[in-house]
Structure 1
């Protein structure tokens, strides 16, 4: 896990502070550091297994970042964040939610299946570790939202960010990831079907990410004054 944390810290130093990927990276670095402390502190009954799941989980995100940096095609779930990472009308909270959506909705399911293959066990054997990782994420979600809230306008029901916050749930994404992991594990002996399901999952999560990154803060261009009409 130390190597994964080092790569995230290097990204944090390298990326501009307002870059959308940098916003998510800071959030995810905090999450991974918290998980590292919990694992080292005895918060997981099987620390080796929990660390393996956490590392595999992180590597999907880091692989997507590296692919984008080298100009390669990235998974559909991550594409909106890379495409809109410098858009002036997107708020930091949106970048954080879009990254969490991609990572939980898509990467977590694949990480569970990868860990099961490596450990030669079924997802049921990892359910306790999955729940503990998820509990850590949920506990940090409220803090993330508070730190990245754009201001008191968020309290207004009509504010678009309020609508986005109510439209996406980390708990639902986590439940969906577990269901997807179980399905993919069941399909492991039919690779063509498993690939179709993975591709569909990737596309669906990417569509949600694109919605979360709807620009909300671009100032409207000022229209020229209308010329006076002759009869006015």
Structure 2
């Protein structure tokens, strides 16, 4: 398969199991396409994304020893809606479609840039997916699972998954301070910085979705709010993505 044929893995996903399978296939194909060059931005991000999604699936299936969600149906639907936006972006990119969000285009266009580190590619993907896609995945999910205090609590529990995986992920991607003594002050500081960033950005995504959702029931106002947030979030994530790819050190 060519590097531009990842979309064969982006068919309809209906379950979290489907998401894990699709992400794993994209991660592996992108990595296999490498040979030379050695780094691929899609593979870097998808490797991280697969790890987190596998952990979410384990929690939904009840295999995690301590963590569970109160509303599995809500979390499963959100996971699928979230993944669909990444998969749709890959398909649009391979079709050379103008619908690719700018925040994804900056990563896709530079996926083979050997001057970009693994951690920068991964962070750029997280930026596009969380700072842009997540808001609209929430809105799609809320159509059948409206926001409640309990669902917000489940949503925030996903932050704990990132926190549990943070040390291994940072070492895997050779992030800033990851090479310091494991469990030492600097190592713990790097983990804490990354954890805080995840919690803050995921919280902002929920708040952006709420700004649109408050117009629910007024179709015109809802469409306008949706268009405003789409443009605002993509512009911000696009600009941040460009900076992330050039950043010398990331937490």
Superposition TM-score, scaled by structure 1 size = 0.80
Match of 2:230 among 198, 215, 225: 198
Q: Structure 1 residues 66, 193: closer, same or farther in 2, change over 3 A?
A: same
Contact kept? 1:104, 1:173, Cα under 8 Å: yes
Inter-partner Cα distance in structure 1 for 2:213 and 2:175: 40
Superposition TM-score, scaled by structure 2 size = 0.74
Residue equivalent to 1:222: none
1:184 aligns with 2:212: yes
Gaps of 5+ in 1: 156-161, 218-232
Match of 1:8 among 23, 43, 57: 23
1:40 aligns with 2:72: no
Deviation for aligned residue 1:39? 0.8
Q: Structure 1 residues 55, 101: closer, same or farther in 2, change over 3 A?
A: same
Q: Structure 1 residues 151, 134: closer, same or farther in 2, change over 3 A?
A: closer
Match of 2:45 among 24, 28, 39: 24
Deviation for aligned residue 1:209? 0.8
Question: Is the partner of 1:89 in helix, strand or coil?
Answer: coil
Deviation for aligned residue 1:151? 8.3
Deviation for aligned residue 1:9? 1.6
Deviation for aligned residue 1:96? 0.7
Residue equivalent to 1:75: 101
Residue equivalent to 1:133: 158
1:51 aligns with 2:76: yes
Inter-partner Cα distance in structure 2 for 1:175 and 1:20: 26
| Structure having the higher Rg | 1
Partner deviation per Cα, 1:62-104 (whole Å, 9 max, x = no partner): 1111211222131122121111111111100000111111111
Higher relative contact order (CA 8 A, sep 6+): 1
1:66 aligns with 2:91: yes
Residue equivalent to 2:169: 144
Deviation for aligned residue 1:140? 2.3
Deviation for aligned residue 1:13? 2.5
Question: Is the partner of 1:15 in helix, strand or coil?
Answer: helix
Deviation for aligned residue 1:127? 0.5
Q: Structure 1 residues 153, 97: closer, same or farther in 2, change over 3 A?
A: closer
Instruction: Identify which range, 76-85 or 91-100, moves more after superposition.
Output: 76-85
Aligned length: 207
Q: Structure 1 residues 138, 76: closer, same or farther in 2, change over 3 A?
A: farther
> What do you get for the CA RMSD once the two structures are aligned?
2.5
Contact kept? 2:70, 2:150, Cα under 8 Å: no
Gaps of 5+ in 2: 1-15, 181-189
